[in-house]
């Protein structure tokens, strides 16, 4: 294969892969009767109801120009693929009103034969139309690719008639990407602004790697209604949260933490006057995480990423002090982390109130973890050795 052919093949794979994800999203957003959509499974896009039955099979034609003329490969190969899929699928897994659709990403030429096939559902003239095809191919001596498709289709006319009675061709009013954005903007309004970011976000969540389209054949890429609703909900809501007022926290909760590792560490570096504030912010952060997780704003993966980012920043501050050959000052490290932690906060979530309180809550949470925990931090320069037995001795 020449380098030019290889590049074209990679480009075609990339383009096909790139347009299928937003097209699949288009279906699940616009039709509440859809339970899930799959990409590159059975067909380019397969659409299912809530009982897992096939509701629609869609071939996405992204090349320009796309020709659905009388004896074009785009038309005959699609019919052939559909017949093979349905032949090998349990009838109970197919909706009675299933649709077979060729979707052209751009404008395409539709020939007379394609128009004839489209008219079968209204005119009930399958036998007449198909007889013309039999006569045409009877005169063809060559055994080309199109004729092979015809021969296979001709072995199961009843199934082919079923497919053509549910056959449609769809084209976008404008470009497909504009249609997608317009539809989502109209459906969700201002709360779904910049919906192209949501599209990219969904692709990332389901591991769709645009850099390596070949990966798509190795696993089922599926978006369920439940998954979509979860992510939609995170964008559809006003994504701001009020950090709980520290003075409204129950006194007993504060008392319960006064013997904690977090407090022992602060006392060790002479930050006794910060203990009460540290405990209140620790509790406020825990309440935020619990409430936001319950409401679907953030999940465990998001929270773990926050802790990972905070630990990384702590290490940077710690290394800086060490490189200066200064005596390790735990109090200085604590203030640096908590006061400069503007970026240590949940992504996709705006917290009303002091970002310093958020940073203090996060860092005190990490300082309260066992010293061998992968995200634990400490304020004393020998905190790992000094507090390694803390939890064992306080069981």
pLDDT tens, residue by residue, 228-244: 776 666 555 555 777 88
164 or 23, which is more confident: 164
Contacts of 279 (CB under 8 A, 6+ apart): 254, 257, 258, 260, 262, 263, 364
Q: Is the pLDDT of residue 269 over 60?
A: yes
pLDDT tens, residue by residue, 328-381: 688 889 998 988 766 677 766 777 778 888 999 999 999 999 988 889 999 988
10 Å CB burial of residue 70 (0-12, 13-18, 19+) is middle
| Closest among 224, 228, 202 to 36, alpha carbons compared | 224
10 Å CB burial of residue 290 (0-12, 13-18, 19+) is exposed
Residue 12: the pLDDT is 44
Residue 99 contacts residue 168 (beta carbons within 8 Å): yes
Enter the tokens of residue 132.
């013309």
Confidence band, pLDDT 50/70/90 cuts, at residue 211: very low
DSSP state of 245: P
Average pLDDT value for residue range 111-129: 93
CA distance readout (Å), 91 to 52, 72, 85, 374:
12, 30, 11, 52
| Closest among 311, 328, 317 to 363, alpha carbons compared | 311
User: Any idea which residue has 């013309």 for tokens?
Assistant: 132
pLDDT tens, residue by residue, 123-162: 999 999 999 999 988 887 666 889 999 999 999 999 999 9
CA distance 174 to 180: 10
Residue 44 contacts residue 198 (beta carbons within 8 Å): no
């Amino acid at each position: 294969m020449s380098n030019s052919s290889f590049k074209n093949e990679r480009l075609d794979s990339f383009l096909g892969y790139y347009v299928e994800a937003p097209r699949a999203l288009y279906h699940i957003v616009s039709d509440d009767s859809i339970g899930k959509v799959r990409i590159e499974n059975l067909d380019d896009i397969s659409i299912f109801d809530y009982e897992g039955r096939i509701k629609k099979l869609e071939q996405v034609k992204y090349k320009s120009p796309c020709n659905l003329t009388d004896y074009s490969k785009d038309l005959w190969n699609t019919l052939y693929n559909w017949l093979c899929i349905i032949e090998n699928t349990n009838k109970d897994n197919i909706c009675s009103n299933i649709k077979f659709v060729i979707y052209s990403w751009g404008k395409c030429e539709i020939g007379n034969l394609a128009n004839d096939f489209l008219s079968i559902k209204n005119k009930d003239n399958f036998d007449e139309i198909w007889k013309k095809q039999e006569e045409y191919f009877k005169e063809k001596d060559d055994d080309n690719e199109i004729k092979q498709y015809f021969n296979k289709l001709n072995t199961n006319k009843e199934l082919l008639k079923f497919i053509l009675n549910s056959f449609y061709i769809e084209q976008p009013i404008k470009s497909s990407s504009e249609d997608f954005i317009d539809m989502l903007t109209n459906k969700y309004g201002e709360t779904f602004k910049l919906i192209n970011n949501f599209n990219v976000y969904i692709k990332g969540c389901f591991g769709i790697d645009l850099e390596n389209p070949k990966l798509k054949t190795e696993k089922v890429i599926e978006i369920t209604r439940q998954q979509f609703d979860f992510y939609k909900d995170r964008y559809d809501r006003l994504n701001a949260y009020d950090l709980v007022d520290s003075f409204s926290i129950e006194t007993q909760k504060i008392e319960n933490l006064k013997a904690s590792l977090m407090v022992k560490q602060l006392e060790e570096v002479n930050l006794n006057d910060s203990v009460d504030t540290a405990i209140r912010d620790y509790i406020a952060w825990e309440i935020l995480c619990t409430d936001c997780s319950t409401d679907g704003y953030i999940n465990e993966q998001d929270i773990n990423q926050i802790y990972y980012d905070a630990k990384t920043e702590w290490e940077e501050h710690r290394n800086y002090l060490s490189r200066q050959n200064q005596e390790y000052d735990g109090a200085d490290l604590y203030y640096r982390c908590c006061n400069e932690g503007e970026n240590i906060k949940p992504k996709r979530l705006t917290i009303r109130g002091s970002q310093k309180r958020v940073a203090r809550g996060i860092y005190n949470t990490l300082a309260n973890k066992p010293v061998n925990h992968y995200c634990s931090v400490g304020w004393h320069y020998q905190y790992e050795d000094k507090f390694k037995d803390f939890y064992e001795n306080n069981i």
